[in-house]
């Protein structure tokens, strides 16, 4: 049997008996949409959506259950068969998390000898605290210190997952927005440190000396460009987040692990969608400006300032101000304003009653009309 078709590892008869009893309490589906449909037909306390990789081709099964039932099942799984993921649903509160990933062969050779887990974590905490503080979170330094670090590094790859226990947002979209602030700070603070020596190993060492923090922009081995130590593409709803003790299905892949004892309470701490800390609401950030208005810009503060001037508002509710502006001055048939991932790259738009859409260009304070049933956009107009 080829590796591409490799199935789950054979287990002992005793383990099989235990799993059969526990598995009967969980309804597994081969398609995510069927799992989601099934969840709408029942109410479960302490609910969790999970997936499990069942072969090395990436096929997964999906389930909706309560955390106790799943933990009982998960605890009995052998280490070779723990290939499970937490599914992050839309509009569900989440802890802020970061996925750190770097293949040593892709970046400068010096990185592997210089990288230290503690130094990287401290640097990530510093930048996250700076971003939160810039949004008006006064105790940012304190809350970022409560973080669980899961490690799956190998001799060829540096891999960490960070789960911040007290940084909790109303939805995963807010995590994406916060990461924009982190990226913006990196461009402002780290990028200039490479000016003297360029995007090279010497430049990296200079940045390390100047910064006093471990650089999060690492020069690639080939090409005059950087590798971000953290993954910027994992903040979408229905994202699958690998669980503590789980590994990718391929042979030789290590599990994500930490030095906590494997208990139900600690397991919940490592999950994204289970939290004890209060939510940080969007309206509490950056003088009560909704985060999603700045989420798609590398200079969110400047963008927000421009919109406040254009709309002649105090910034307490820019979303509502944009809606009222379009309703009163552009088109009275505007029905609502929304934020979502858009194929046109803006992510913020307004619906019209006839099915047309206005798509916003946040950086330029502009908008374009998209007619219902067409692919292109009309001429861009400015506020």
CA distance 383 to 348: 15
Residue 13 confidence (pLDDT): 62
CA distance from start to end of the chain: 62
Residue 235 confidence (pLDDT): 82
What is the SS3 assignment for 220?
Answer: strand
Q: Are residues 117 and 228 in the same domain?
A: yes
Residue 296 confidence (pLDDT): 43
Q: Are residues 157 and 249 in the same domain?
A: no
The residue from 252, 283, 314 where one domain ends is: 283
Q: Are residues 226 and 244 in the same domain?
A: no
Residue 22 confidence (pLDDT): 54
Residue 314 confidence (pLDDT): 74
Q: Give average pLDDT by consecutive 10-residue segment, the chain, 383 residues.
A: 49 56 74 90 89 86 94 89 91 93 94 96 94 80 96 95 94 79 83 90 93 92 89 84 90 88 97 91 41 46 79 75 90 78 54 86 86 82 91
Residue 286 confidence (pLDDT): 38
Residue 337 confidence (pLDDT): 78
Q: Are residues 374 and 344 in the same domain?
A: yes
Cβ contact 147:121 at 8 Å: yes
Closest C-alpha to 140, from 125, 161, 122, 150: 125
Q: Are residues 157 and 42 in the same domain?
A: no
Residue 297 confidence (pLDDT): 45
Q: Residue 245 phi/psi, 5° resolution?
A: 80, -5
Residue 82 confidence (pLDDT): 92
Q: Are residues 244 and 302 in the same domain?
A: no
**Number of structural domains in the chain:** 3
- Print the domain residue range for 329: 287-382
């Amino acid at each position: 049997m080829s590796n591409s078709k490799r199935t789950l590892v054979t287990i002992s008869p005793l383990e099989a008996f235990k799993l059969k009893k526990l598995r009967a309490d969980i309804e597994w589906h081969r398609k995510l949409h069927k799992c989601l449909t099934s969840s709408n037909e029942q109410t479960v306390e302490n609910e969790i959506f999970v997936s499990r990789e069942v072969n090395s081709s990436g096929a997964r099964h999906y389930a909706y259950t309560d955390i106790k039932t799943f933990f009982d099942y998960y605890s009995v799984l052998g280490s070779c068969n723990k290939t499970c993921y937490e599914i992050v649903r839309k509009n569900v509160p989440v802890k802020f998390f970061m996925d750190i990933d770097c293949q040593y062969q892709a970046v400068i050779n010096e990185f592997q000898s210089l990288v230290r887990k503690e130094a990287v974590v401290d640097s990530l905490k510093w930048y996250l605290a700076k971003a939160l503080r810039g949004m008006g979170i006064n105790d940012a330094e304190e809350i970022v210190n409560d973080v669980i670090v899961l490690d799956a590094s190998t001799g060829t790859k540096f891999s960490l997952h960070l789960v911040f226990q007290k940084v909790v947002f109303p939805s995963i979209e807010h995590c994406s927005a916060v990461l924009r602030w982190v990226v913006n700070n990196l461009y402002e603070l780290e990028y200039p440190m490479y000016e003297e020596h360029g995007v090279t190993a010497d430049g990296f060492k200079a940045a390390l000396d100047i910064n006093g923090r471990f650089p999060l922009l690492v020069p690639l081995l080939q090409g005059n460009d950087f590798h971000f130590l953290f993954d910027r593409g994992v903040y979408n709803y229905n994202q699958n987040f690998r669980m503590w003790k789980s590994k990718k299905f391929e042979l030789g892949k290590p599990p994500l692990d930490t030095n906590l004892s494997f208990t139900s309470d600690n397991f919940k701490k490592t999950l994204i969608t289970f939290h004890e800390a209060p939510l940080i609401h969007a309206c509490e950030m950056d003088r009560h400006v909704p985060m999603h208005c700045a989420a798609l810009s590398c200079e969110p503060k400047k963008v927000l300032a421009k919109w406040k001037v254009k709309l002649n508002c105090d910034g307490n509710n820019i979303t509502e101000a944009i809606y009222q502006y379009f309703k009163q001055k552009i088109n009275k048939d505007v029905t609502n304003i929304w934020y979502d991932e858009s194929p046109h790259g803006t992510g913020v738009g307004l619906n019209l009653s006839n099915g047309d859409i206005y798509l916003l260009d946040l950086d330029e304070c502009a908008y374009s009309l998209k007619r219902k049933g067409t692919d292109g956009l009309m001429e861009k107009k400015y506020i």
